[in-house]
Amino acid sequence: GESVGLHLPTLSVQEGDNSIINCAYSNSASDYFIWYKQESGKGPQFIIDIRSNMDKRQGQRVTVLLNKTVKHLSLQIAATQPGDSAVYFCAENSGGSNYKLTFGKGTLLTVNP
Amino acid sequence: KAGVTQTPRYLIKTRGQQVTLSCSPISGHRSVSWYQQTPGQGLQFLFEYFSETQRNKGNFPGRFSGRQFSNSRSEMNVSTLELGDSALYLCASSPLSGGAVGELFFGEGSRLTVL
């Protein structure tokens, strides 16, 4: 079935450190993966995406890694800042449609100043 | 450019009632999706509309329905409300048409409490 899960529900880091948030997916037909950030009281905000024909994609201070062999996705945040504190969700497009996302449960990232 | 606007932001209903939530997508966006967010189940896909047609549907009962108007604005309706329908309902719009993947722009949601 379709499912996306997270290894760690909470992550606490010091300001300036690098953060790594992990995600496992189970649907081998998924061909598009996205990371979203959700701050308290707001809707999810797109961070970065990656297609299944890639294994790495970089954005501003963020990098997404995709390992299709073990069905694993990770989000790396460089030089984590207090403003990065939020819940992070990975999501997968389960192959059939590009507009039907399956979200993971989320990881709460707390950045300590 | 205005973001995705959802109304109302908060509402309280009692069991058995019905509710209609509204979503105005970003200007020019033609795809509108709805998600339910609860602490226990997380974000779950409800349905997606494009050009007034429901293209995709999630695994929710028939009490959940939606529609999209010619100006791309969308509404969702939940009839015969149950306590478990208490959730944050999120609307998202996308600028891309057809089958291309693209970024979803979420609104801030409508917080529904069912008593």
Q: What is the pLDDT of residues A53-78, one digit of tens each?
A: 999 999 999 999 999 999 999 999 99
Helices (H), chain B: none
Q: Token pair of A54, please?
A: 């890639």
* Rounded distance between C-alpha atoms, residue B52 and residue B72, angstroms: 7
Inspect the interface and report whether the beta carbons of A43 and B107 lie closer than 8 Å.
Answer: yes
Which residues on chain B place their C-beta less than 8 Å from a C-beta of chain A? 4, 31, 33, 35, 42-45, 48, 50, 55-56, 58, 90, 92, 94, 99-109
Question: How much is the CA Rg of chain B, to the nearest whole Å?
Answer: 13
Contact partners, residue B106, CB within 8 Å, separation at least 6: A36, A43, A44, A45, B4, B90, B91, B92
Residue A39 has phi, psi (to 5 degrees) of -90, 155
Instruction: Print pLDDT tens along chain A (113 aa).
Output: 344 543 448 999 999 999 999 999 878 888 889 999 999 989 999 999 999 999 999 999 999 999 999 999 999 999 999 999 999 999 998 756 767 889 998 999 999 99
B62-106, pLDDT tens digit by residue?
999 999 999 999 999 999 999 999 999 999 999 876 555 668 899
In 3D, which of B36, B14, B37, B33 has the Cα closest to residue B93?
B33
Inspect the interface and report whether the beta carbons of A106 and B42 lie closer than 8 Å.
Answer: yes
Q: Which of B44, B55, B105 sits opposite A99 (nearest CB)?
A: B55
Stretch B13-41: mean pLDDT: 94
The size of the A-B interface in CB pairs under 8 A is 60
- Quote the pLDDT of residue A1: 37
Q: Token pair of A45, please?
A: 């905000």
Q: Which residues of B touch A44 (CB under 8 A)?
A: 43, 90, 92, 104, 106
**pLDDT grade for B1, boundaries at 50, 70 and 90:** low
Q: Which residues of B touch A93 (CB under 8 A)?
A: 101
